Every structure is written in C-alpha cells, then in structure tokens.
Amino acid sequence: MTRTRSPSTALPRMSLEAPATIVAAVATRLPPFWPANPQVWFIQVEAQFSRRNITNSRTMYEEIVCALPTEYAAEVQDLLIDPPTDGPYEKLKELLIKRIADSERQKLRQLLTALVKRPRLSIVHFYANYSYNASPRTFR
C-alpha cells in the first residue's frame, strides 16, 4: 500500500534564495588569538572570513568578540559594551592592535626597568618572561 502525504504534512521545500545568508551561517574556525602579533592574527582571521565569504562588518565583529580571550577582551571593553554601528569590525581591529601593542611596550618597559635595577637578573630570566611573546615590532 502506498502512502501519500496530505498537504498539511508535506515536507517544506528548500529555498535556494539568499545564498549569502547560508554561507555566513557556516561555522568559522578562527585561530587562537596571538597577542604577540595581533596584526598577523588578523591577517589569518581575514583569510578565514574570505574563505567563507563573510564580508559583513557586524558578523566579523561578533566572530572576533567570541574568539577573544577574556584578558584581551578587557583591553577593548569600552568598544564591546558600546559597539559602533558603522564599521564595528574595523574599529575593533584598530583598537585591539593599538592597545595590545601599547600593553606589550609597557611590559617591556617594566622588564627593562627591573633589569636595570637588578643587574644580576640574568638575560635568560628576561627572555623567559618576555621574548616568547615579543614581536619584532616591540623592540623598535
């Protein structure tokens, strides 16, 4: 016996409209945040966005917010609490790079000050505490 479905129980038809929405819904797997060189991290992130055809600034902003470790999200807390309506991704990127670079310079200053105050502090200790996070830009 062949069963037929009544119109009320028929399966919904898939729409092929709005492919950009469907593509944007694909999960994005961002690399772990790299505080030593946030500019390179953003290049990697933008490559992921490009591969998935994600071009909406708000969507990109939300992906970054989800990927940021809490200690770095705190660096841009003001922008996260009150996100801009115009170009939120671009503004978050600019602010995060600036503030992380400033905080890296501050750490370097603190370590150099400690090194000057305590000359017996070995260079090995200095590198153990800083250089693994340092980007070449930090020492310019």
Render pLDDT for 73-125 as a digit per residue (tens, 0 to 9). Answer: 998 999 999 999 999 999 999 999 988 877 777 777 777 777 777 766 566 66
Q: How many domains does the chain have?
A: 1
Residue 128 lies in a domain: yes
Q: Helix, strand, coil % (nearest 5) of the chain? A: 65, 0, 35
Domain that holds residue 124: 35-139
Task: Write out pLDDT tens, residues 6-33.
Answer: 555 555 555 555 555 444 455 678 999 9
Residue 130 lies in a domain: yes
Residue 55 lies in a domain: yes
For residue 139, pLDDT over 60 is answered with no
Residue 119 lies in a domain: yes
Residue 17 lies in a domain: no
Residue 24 lies in a domain: no
DSSP 102-114: HHHHHHHHHHHHH
pTM of the model: 0.60
Residue 94 lies in a domain: yes
The amino acid that residue 136 corresponds to is P
- By CB atoms closer than 10 A (0-12, 13-18, 19+), residue 57 is middle
